[in-house]
Amino acid sequence: MEQPPGFVDPQFPNHVCRLKKAIYGLKQAPLAWYQRLSDFLIRIGFFCSRSDPSLFIYNRGSSTIYLLVYVDDIILTGNSYNVLKSVISRLHQEFAITDLGKLGYFLGLEVTYTSSGIFLNQAKYARDILQRASLEESKPVSTPLAAGCQLSKDGQPFEDPTLYRSLVGSLQYLTITRPDLSFAVNLVSQHLQHPTIAHFQAVKRILRYVKHTPAFGLSFTRSSSFSLVAYSDADWARCVETRRSTYGYSIFLGGNLVSWSAKKQPTVSRSSCESEYRALANTASEMVCALQLLRELQVQLSSCPTLYSDNNSAIFLSQNPSSHKRAKHIDIDFHFVRELVSNGQLETRYVSSDLQVADIFTKALHRPLFEFFRDKLRVGPHPTSCLRGDDSIK
């Protein structure tokens, strides 16, 4: 901390200014603003979600209002128009806010309303990345990585590491609506410290795929019944240098993709069964978190949550405590999935590898299989029909 230029006291040059108010731009400003906003929302009848601190819920009789906040950007939606207008009016009285009407653009995400639901994409953001990389006229490709692609630390260093990190960071944000990019972006993100020319070529390949699919995004459709279904997969010892496995999962609610991940496991697994079992446990943990959020949203599931894996040994391990002797070295916290299964809170089932949707998060696939799984994730082009929908406030 030091006195700002032009306001240095010559008698006390080493003193600093005393902060009496949280000023926009300071590190403590977002926290002070969140505390101010949350206190007001709780005072008018909202309660903060335990699963997601940025979500506030209002329940009065048959009226339900959801308010999602990201710093000073707010999304407000609900099933009662009158209650919505009342909440907006009270927000106007307390804060200097601007009602932007129907939600169409939020933090780089474009929202399109269709006859069957909504469509989320980041087409403008994707084009901005291509322009920054000077690849607007590049030749498009049909997959983000060549089949079987692996990257190592060896190679000629890339001359501009800052550009590499900037592009990879931008691609990470693009995966919010592009789960088909998750594995490829995760792979190039592992080499941010010392990128090589081969790593940058991989990033360019991803961008050429984005050039081929700039308007792709996630589709969400209405469903008469809600079921929570997840797919878990792991590619044993994929990393040739550390021999750590890569695992991924995809979680669907009512047929809509709501959560996914592609990540390298933190420890080395001694067998494919162990790596699959660890992936199974991590996916179960995410499902438990999703269930807690759904309970707060008062969403009733139509069936028991189901977790699919293409490894029979991992499924057997999750359902039979008698096999514990063969897995003594596995950390005890991974075995909580057994308790969920035994209590009837979760079902684990086998799915064949050709239908394992999470496979797209663990390895670079050939084009036909990649496109098949991409369609299963409901990632596709921009829909043609457009309507209008929820409210947005800033």
What's the rounded Cα separation, in Å, for the pair 249 and 270?
Answer: 21
Report the percent of the chain where pLDDT is more than 70.
Answer: 94
Q: Has residue 100 got a pLDDT over 70? A: yes
Q: Has residue 12 got a pLDDT over 80? A: yes
Report pLDDT digits (tens) over 49-98.
998 899 999 998 888 999 999 888 899 998 888 999 999 999 999 988 88
User: Band of the pLDDT at 389, cuts 50, 70, 90?
Assistant: very low
User: Band of the pLDDT at 331, cuts 50, 70, 90?
Assistant: low
Q: Which helix (H) or strand (E) holds 371?
A: helix 367-376
Whole-model pTM: value is 0.85
Q: What pLDDT shows up at residue 388?
A: 41
Q: What pLDDT shows up at residue 289?
A: 92
Radius of gyration of the chain (CA): 24
- Residue 199, SS3 per DSSP: helix
Residue recorded with tokens 């506030």: 56
What's the rounded Cα separation, in Å, for the pair 207 and 184?
Answer: 11
DSSP class per residue in 252-320: EETTEEEEEEEEE-SS--SSHHHHHHHHHHHHHHHHHHHHHHHHHTTPPPSS--EEEES-HHHHHHHH-
Domains of the chain: 1-97 (no CATH), 120-212 (no CATH), 226-380 (3.30.420.10)
- The letter for the amino acid at 201 is Q
b/e sequence 368-385, b meaning 16+ C-beta within 10 Å: ebbbebbebbbbbebbee
Q: Has residue 217 got a pLDDT over 80? A: yes
Q: Has residue 319 got a pLDDT over 90? A: no
List strands edge to edge, sheet with 109-113.
105-106, 109-113, 117-121, 217-221, 379-380
User: Band of the pLDDT at 383, cuts 50, 70, 90?
Assistant: confident
Q: What six digits make up the tokens of 168?
A: 């990879």
